Amino acid sequence: MREIWIPELLSSLFMLVFLVRPLFKGLWPLDGIAWLPSLALGTAVIIFPAYGFRPECIPLAAGCFLITLMNIRPLLTGASRNAEFHEQRTLFTVSSIAFLVFSTALALWFSPVPQDPVNPRKVTLRGPDEAGSPVYTLHIFDGKAPASGIPGGRPLIFLVPPEFGGLNAVDRLCAALGERGFSVISYTRPGSAARLLRLWRAFHGGTRSKKANDAGRALEAEKKAEIEYVLAYLKENLASLAPGANGDALFLAGWGAGGSALAYLCAGQGETAPGRWAAAAKPAYGALGLVVVEGRFWSSWVPAPPPPAIETSNAFLAPLVRVRNWLARFLPERIEGPGTPPQPAIPALYLVSGRALDEGEKSYAAVFAALRNSAAPALLAALEGAGPLDYSDLREEYPLYTTLFSGSGGNGSENSGESGGKGGYLEKSAALIGLFCELTAPSNARTAAAFTGRLRLPGGLYLETSSWNFGDFRLY
């Protein structure tokens, strides 16, 4: 039994006893039942500070709140002690019970999946301005045996988690990468309602509406500043933060706006060489490779020009034209399409959901443009059926979100297992990231027969590239 089920069931039970009271004469004399809605509401509300924001519990808490609100006057006036309550209409009772059953089932079905605890080492870091700067929390995962084929100690992955979910969204993925022989350092900072609102607006309309796109640009700009500060601290203090990690074998990975910010920061730095990555080059931040997960590159999208003003020489139509031109100034500004995407100067892996297989020239257009215009070797990978949130721990932590934002690009039958289980999205994400890092390491980089276009491989894996020759990803 999941621990969170206890307060959910208690809240539902308290409310159910109150709602069925008019139907059972044996319950009429029990005046204390009138207090059960308040107790149910308190139990439902406690879930949020105890277990974090649980969206699946909102309908249950909202229903308890409404019934409690309706019961305040009888409770305060003592009407609950007379026969008024059993005059409640049957339709109200039945509909309330039906909603209670629905909201309880929703809360139980989409509750977080129990997982073995992950215990990384934690370090706190104050921002550059001591007074008003946020406090960053670093989670450090020490790899086990060094990754195959990468000499000089454990290779290091600096990983930027998604804006929503923070470190809880990637801790198990980091642990899985640690099992593959990497040292992984991830970070987060306290969130805010404003940042989550910008994320929501950008995610839903960042490629269509200029206002939503501006929200995405702001997120990417904030991530750039954060990454530059945290990464500089990491490189300066790596020996104490992650003893045994090889700072010369650094790989960068980021989700969403964090992945986009890394791509912009790595653009225009380093050098490429025909056939393979030049180990003697000075790549961005000393990194050997970049992984961008579900980055949309909002800063690359171009606003559409404003509609041209209409002119007329007809004196009768002139007033109407002036009104039309005036009203046109208030129309929402739109996005015309992707402009110039970032071109990282180091090998890049773009990991996207199965939706990109159907929406490639829509919300993922900038990602495909970055892939096709890349000067360095670049590869796009998508797992059939995976949603935008499936390359993280969110499938277990927030099953409701991954259901609402499910993937496409096939029925996902080959990936239908739990994301943390064998063959699931989380394990495959770690395998893809780990294999990419191993193939792009200088000791492994080799000239191989390049392939172009899109391939579908066993396990529901799609690959697309225009310039990949760093080994065969089909070994996956």
Strongest mean pLDDT among 72-76, 90-94, 265-269:
90-94
Question: Rounded to an integer, what distance in angstroms lies between the CA atom of residue 67 and that of residue 61?
Answer: 10
- Predicted local distance difference test score (pLDDT) of residue 375: 78
- Predicted local distance difference test score (pLDDT) of residue 269: 46
- Predicted local distance difference test score (pLDDT) of residue 87: 60
- Predicted local distance difference test score (pLDDT) of residue 271: 41
Burial zone of 305 (CB within 10 Å; 0-12 exposed, 13-18 middle, 19+ buried): exposed
Tell how strand 135-141 and strand 183-188 pair up.
Answer: antiparallel
Q: Give the tokens for residue 154.
A: 């454990």
pTM of the prediction?
A: 0.82
**Interior angle at CA 207, CA 167 and CA 337, nearest 5:** 135
Residue 40 has pLDDT above 50, yes or no: yes
Residue 237 has pLDDT above 60, yes or no: yes
pLDDT (average), residues 434-446: 76
Answer with the residue of higher pLDDT: 210 or 83: 210
Give the model's confidence band at 185: pLDDT under 50 very low, under 70 low, under 90 confident, else very high: very high
Give the model's confidence band at 449: pLDDT under 50 very low, under 70 low, under 90 confident, else very high: low
Q: Is 399 helix (H, G, I), strand (E, B) or coil?
A: helix
Question: Rounded to an integer, what distance in angstroms lies between the CA atom of residue 304 and that of residue 101?
Answer: 48
Q: Give the tokens for residue 29.
A: 């004399």
Radius of gyration in angstroms for the set of CA atoms belonging to the chain, rounded to a whole number: 27
Question: Rounded to an integer, what distance in angstroms lies between the CA atom of residue 464 and that of residue 372?
Answer: 9
- Predicted local distance difference test score (pLDDT) of residue 125: 87
Question: Rounded to an integer, what distance in angstroms lies between the CA atom of residue 142 and that of residue 170?
Answer: 15
pLDDT, tens digit (0-9, with 9 covering 90-100), for 275-327: 333 433 444 567 889 999 999 999 999 988 877 777 776 777 777 877 777 77
For residues 345 and 376, the answer to whether their CB atoms sit within 8 Å is: yes
Q: Can you give 290-329 as a three-state secondary structure string? A: EEEECCCCHHHEEECCCCCCCCCCCCCCHHHHHHHHHHHC
- Predicted local distance difference test score (pLDDT) of residue 433: 93
CB atoms within 10 A of CB 466: 16
- Predicted local distance difference test score (pLDDT) of residue 46: 94
- Predicted local distance difference test score (pLDDT) of residue 273: 38
- Predicted local distance difference test score (pLDDT) of residue 392: 87
Give the model's confidence band at 84: pLDDT under 50 very low, under 70 low, under 90 confident, else very high: low
- Predicted local distance difference test score (pLDDT) of residue 77: 66
- Predicted local distance difference test score (pLDDT) of residue 363: 84
Q: Give the tokens for residue 206.
A: 């960042």
Answer with the residue of higher pLDDT: 452 or 63: 63
Tell how strand 301-303 and strand 335-338 pair up.
Answer: antiparallel
Contacts of 18 (CB under 8 A, 6+ apart): 33, 34, 36, 37, 40, 67, 71
